[in-house]
Amino acid sequence: MDMQKIEKLIKKFSQERDWDKFHNPKNLAMALSVESSELLEIFQWLNEEEALKLKDKKLEHLKEEVADVAVYLLRICMSYDINLEEAIVSKMKKNELKYPLNDKEGKSIDYSKKF
């Protein structure tokens, strides 16, 4: 993914509509929450098999909501000059420490029993 290209596209789109005055971090976070809820709504009442086999209109709707979530997340990153790739890599390193593959005795850890 060409992040600079995507960010430029988002910035141009927002500037052309004079939306920057509304797109402060607080409002962007709120909009991200709304879009995340719309993403969640696609899966509401589906069983696991149905959720894994979305087709046609439902799959297209999923793509649109994923894009909406990504756009708001990127706008937040742009507001704070956060490099999303670096943030993800850093967080995954922390997750590796928090959730190791094996315990001190070399046994696999079943995280479902930890919570």
First to last CA, the chain: 35
pLDDT of 49 over the 70 cut: yes
User: Interior CA angle at 51 toward 93 and 60, to 5°?
Assistant: 90
pLDDT of 115 over the 70 cut: no
Q: What is the pLDDT of residue 10?
A: 97
Q: Which residues does 71 contact at the CB level (< 8 Å), separation at least 6?
A: 10
Fold assignment, 3-83: Helix Hairpins (1.10.287)
More confident: 110 or 49: 49
**What integer best gives the mean pLDDT of the chain?**
94
pLDDT of 102 over the 90 cut: no
pLDDT of 106 over the 80 cut: no
pLDDT of 23 over the 80 cut: yes
Find the mean pLDDT for residues 42-46. Answer: 97
